[in-house]
Copies of this chain bind each other. A is one copy, B any other.
Amino acid sequence: MRSQVKTKPTRSELRRQREREQRFQSILDAAENLFAKKGYHHTNMDEVADLAEVSVGTVYFYFKNKEDLISKMLEKIGFQLRNLLGREFENADGSIEGFKRAGILFFEEFCLNHPQKVAILFRESAGQSNRLEEHRKQIFEKLIQDVQHALIRVGDNLNVAYQSPFSSEVMAVSIMGMYERIAYQYLIWQNRPDDLQTIGRDAVDFIVGGIMNLSSKT
């Protein structure tokens, strides 16, 4: 550490920090592309370094190890997704309409624009190690919580109660699963981005129907 006392960072220190951040991102992006295209296990650290135009040593300067790379990637994707959906759910403020909009946003904003992120989140990050699986679980649980909270607010708004104590959670988990597999099926497997819009809307309607059925007027 140069100085013990915290002083105003100089211009060159600021530039350095900015450059560090950029390098970190460029490595992460390179890895994301490769992991999505070739798979986590078939991508090696040399390739990541190559695509990011740095040396392997540099990759290890920014990331503890290969797992850390996908872990940070997962974190970033989870954060972006929550940011996107979370904001929309809040705006929705308990209306069915808002719920629909959030779902459509997921397909049209997130999936269509970031198919590699879909591949990382729903395929590459699965079953690689216990630690990573734990991380993945937490990210999914947070996303599910967001959905669940929105569901509860919708329920409150409509003055309905859900069938069982688990209902709202199960519904949230189910919705997560639907979104996941639809995105995967039509984007990754069948590569039909143009149809994903219509399909997404159908899916959202399907969900809304499900919600209504599981609830009963109080």
Task: Give A contacts to B, CB under 8 Å.
Answer: 1-2, 39-42, 53-54, 119, 123-124, 126-129, 137, 140, 144, 163-164, 166-167, 170-171, 173-174, 176-182, 185-186, 189, 195, 198-199, 202-203, 205-214
Contacts and interface: CB of A to CB of B under 8 A. Distances in A.
A213 B205 contact: yes
Contact of A202 (B40, B42, B140, B214): B214
A181 B182 contact: no
A8 B213 CA distance: 61
A2 B212 contact: no
Contacts of A186: 173
A97 to B, nearest CB: 15
Given A123-B127, A206-B213, A210-B207, A173 B182 contact: yes
B163 A205 contact: yes
A163 to B, nearest CB: 6
A78 to B, nearest CB: 15
A174 B203 contact: yes
